[in-house]
Structure 1
Amino acid sequence: MANVVLKLPINEIKKIENHYKKQSITPPQYATFAAKVNGTNVTVYKSGKVMFQGRDAEKEASMWQGKSEALPTKKANKKSVNEHSFYPPNHFFETSHIGSDEAGTGDYFGPITVAAVFIPKEKIALIKELGVRDSKDLKDPMIERIAKDLVYAEIPYTLMTLKNEKYNQLQRKGWNQGKMKAMLHYHAIQKLLDKLKGTTIDGILIDQFCQPQVHQKYLRTEKLTLQPDTYFMTKAESHSLSVAAASIIARAKFVKEMDKLSKESGITIPKGASNKVDQTAAYLVKKYGKDVLEKYAKLHFANTEKANKYL
C-alpha cells in the first residue's frame, strides 16, 4: 500500500479540504479532515501533515506535491505514531469489538503471551464492574483474580503462548520480535473469529507495537493479511475494555508460566531485565549448564552476555 505524507501550508490544506469535500468521511481523533477517493485515504492532521494512503496515493499526492516536499514516513515520532488510516473512529470503544494485547515482550525470562478478547457492548457495564482496566495499573494478584472473573463471566477469548525454545528458534531463523508478535496477534484473533462465527463484530483493535504498514509487512512474509475492520492505536488498553481485558488475560498467563519456571528451577525467576535477572541467569547456568537458558530465556537479550560477569 503506497503511503505519502506532505507538510503543507494552511492555504493549501484548505484547498485540499474543498477539493475532496464530496468524498469526506469521519476523520480519526488526531485529524481535522478525511476523505476517501479512488481507493485512497486522504487524512489532514492537526500538525499540518497530510497523508495519502492507498493504491493511488502517489497520484493524488502529486497534485499537491509542488507546494511541499514529501516527508519520510519511516521517521514517525511519538506525536505522529497514531497518525494513520487504521486509527479507530471515536465511537468505536462503545461497540462490540475484539481487542488484543501481549505480555512478556520486555522480560528476559518467560514466554510471550497474546490474548484476544471479545466484549459485546451489552456486557461493557459488567466488565467495568469487574475492575477491568490497563493491566499495567494492576498488581499481579489482582490481575489473576480479574482474569478468573472474566473466564467465569464467559467472556469469549483466545490465548497464544510462545515459549522460549520456539522464540529462540524463530529468532535464529531471522524473525525479530515484532514479527513474532504480529503472528501471535493474527492467530489469536483468527481463532477467536472462528469461535465467534455468526456473531456480529464491529471491528478489531490491536494494541499497536509498530506502524500498521510494518505489521502488514510481517504478515505478508507468511502470506497472511489483516482481518477486515482491524484498527491500531498505542495505549489501546487505556481506551478499549476489550484490549484491557486482553492485557489482563495475557499477563495472567505470563505470570502463571513464570511461576512454573520458578517451581521447576527451585528459585524465584524474576521478571523484567534488571541486574537481578543477570544474576539469576548466571545462577541457572552454574547449576544446570548454559543450555538451560534456551528453555528459560530470550537469548538475544543483552542479559545473556551480562550474566557472564557473574560466572
Structure 2
Amino acid sequence: MIVGVDEAGRGPVIGPLVVASLGIPEAQINILEELGVNDSKALSPSRRLEIRNKILKYKNWKYSIVEFSAEQIDRSMEHDTLNNVEVKLFAKAIDNIGSECISKLILDACDVNQERFGRNVSSMIKATSKNFELISEHKADSKHLIVGAASILAKVHRDLEIERISQECGFEIGSGYPSDRKTKDAIPLLITKDSPHIHLRWSWATVERAWKEAGKGKLPLRPRIPQNTGGQSSVDSWYRQL
C-alpha cells in the first residue's frame, strides 16, 4: 500500500489543524490521475469536494482524518512547537490506517528540514516493522498524486468545519487565514466577550494584537481542557476503512 499524508490549516488564526492520510494499492495510483487529483490549492472548492467524494467511494482504499482544534493547538503550544505537534498528528493519521501494510510512505514535510521531518514522523509510528520506502518532501502535494489526494481530504474537511463555525457564529469568518479580508473583519467580532472565541487560536500574535487594540488589556489564559474520562487521546480522530 502506498500512503500519502498532508495537512490543512497550519497557519490560520481560526479553526482546526487537519491532517489526512490516504492509503491505496500501488497498482491503482493511476486512478487518482483519472479522478483529476492535484494539489488541493490548485483546485476550486467545488472541484475539491467532487474529487473527495469520488475518492471515498473506493472500498479497498483507507483514509484517516485527524482534527486538532484551536483549543488543543493553544494548549500544546504552551510546551511544544507546531512542528512537533504536526509530527504527532501525521503519525496518528498513519497509524489509524494500519502502518504495518505500508510499502511506500510519502509526506508533505512541514519542517524546514524535510529529512528531519520524515525521520521524526517515522520514529513516532507505532508499527513494529518499518520496512517501507519513506519520502518526505516540501510541496509533496504537487509532486505526488497520493499526497495531492490526501491534501484534498484534509482541505475539504477543514473547509466544512470552517463553514460550520461560521454558521455557529452567525456571520462570515472567511478562510480563517489572517490575510483574508473576511477573517480580518471577523476577528473583532470574535473578541467582544470576556475572552476570545473558542475557535480562535489565542496563542497567535494576531489574536493578542487584536485583543490589545480593542483596549481589553492582557489576553486571558485559556481554561484547562477537561480530562477525558474515556481513555481517548486529546487528538480527536476519525478513521474509516472504505
- TM normalised by structure 1 equals 0.61
> Structure 1 residues 279 and 130, CA, compared in 2 at 3 Å: closer, same or farther?
same
- What is the aligned partner in structure 1 of residue 204 from structure 2? 301
> Structure 1 residues 264 and 292, CA, compared in 2 at 3 Å: closer, same or farther?
farther
Q: Which moved more, 1:181-190 or 1:226-235?
A: 226-235
What percent identity do the matched residue pairs reach?
24
Instruction: Quote the Cα distance in structure 2 between the aligned partners of 1:234 and 1:161.
Output: 21
Structure 2 counterpart of 1:191, from 91, 96, 100: 96
Instruction: Quote the Cα distance in structure 2 between the aligned partners of 1:108 and 1:257.
Output: 14
- For 1:113, the aligned partner's letter is V
Do the aligned partners of 2:94 and 2:125 also contact (CA within 8 Å) in 1? no
Deviation by residue 1:116-153 (Cα, 9 ceiling, x = unmatched) = 10122332232212111110101122111211111012
2:73 pairs with 1:167: yes
- For 2:207, the aligned partner's letter is T
- For 1:298, the aligned partner's letter is R
**Runs of 5+ unmatched residues, structure 2:** 216-242
2:182 pairs with 1:279: no
> Structure 1 residues 102 and 214, CA, compared in 2 at 3 Å: closer, same or farther?
closer
Instruction: Quote the Cα distance in structure 1 between the aligned partners of 2:152 and 2:125.
Output: 26
- For 2:109, the aligned partner's letter is Q
Instruction: Quote the Cα distance in structure 1 between the aligned partners of 2:122 and 2:58.
Output: 33
Do the aligned partners of 1:147 and 1:248 also contact (CA within 8 Å) in 2? yes
Instruction: Quote the Cα distance in structure 1 between the aligned partners of 2:150 and 2:74.
Output: 25
**Runs of 5+ unmatched residues, structure 1:** 1-95
> Structure 1 residues 218 and 291, CA, compared in 2 at 3 Å: closer, same or farther?
farther
Instruction: Quote the Cα distance in structure 2 between the aligned partners of 1:113 and 1:275.
Output: 19
Instruction: Quote the Cα distance in structure 2 between the aligned partners of 1:266 and 1:168.
Output: 24
Deviation at 1:213, TM superposition (A): 2.6
Do the aligned partners of 2:87 and 2:121 also contact (CA within 8 Å) in 1? yes
Instruction: Quote the Cα distance in structure 1 between the aligned partners of 2:184 and 2:125.
Output: 39
Instruction: Quote the Cα distance in structure 2 between the aligned partners of 1:306 and 1:145.
Output: 38
Deviation at 1:301, TM superposition (A): 1.7
Instruction: Quote the Cα distance in structure 2 between the aligned partners of 1:122 and 1:214.
Output: 27
- For 2:170, the aligned partner's letter is G
The structure showing larger relative contact order (alpha-carbon pairs under 8 Å, at least 6 residues apart) is: 2
The count of corresponding residues between Structure 1 and Structure 2 is 205
Instruction: Quote the Cα distance in structure 2 between the aligned partners of 1:129 and 1:170.
Output: 40
Do the aligned partners of 2:174 and 2:180 also contact (CA within 8 Å) in 1? no
Do the aligned partners of 1:282 and 1:307 also contact (CA within 8 Å) in 2? yes
Instruction: Quote the Cα distance in structure 2 between the aligned partners of 1:236 and 1:226.
Output: 23
Do the aligned partners of 1:158 and 1:191 also contact (CA within 8 Å) in 2? yes
- What is the aligned partner in structure 1 of residue 109 from structure 2? 208
Instruction: Quote the Cα distance in structure 2 between the aligned partners of 1:124 and 1:110.
Output: 32
Deviation at 1:240, TM superposition (A): 1.4
- What is the aligned partner in structure 1 of residue 144 from structure 2? 240
- For 1:241, the aligned partner's letter is L
The alignment partner of 1:296 has SS state of coil
Instruction: Quote the Cα distance in structure 1 between the aligned partners of 2:118 and 2:25.
Output: 26
- 1:10-159 correspondence to structure 2 within 5 Å: 96-154=1-59, 155-159=61-65
Instruction: Quote the Cα distance in structure 2 between the aligned partners of 1:151 and 1:225.
Output: 24
Do the aligned partners of 1:109 and 1:270 also contact (CA within 8 Å) in 2? no
- What is the aligned partner in structure 2 of residue 52 from structure 1? none
Do the aligned partners of 1:113 and 1:160 also contact (CA within 8 Å) in 2? yes
> Structure 1 residues 131 and 238, CA, compared in 2 at 3 Å: closer, same or farther?
same
Instruction: Quote the Cα distance in structure 2 between the aligned partners of 1:256 and 1:124.
Output: 27
The alignment partner of 1:178 has SS state of helix
Do the aligned partners of 1:278 and 1:307 also contact (CA within 8 Å) in 2? no
- For 1:205, the aligned partner's letter is I
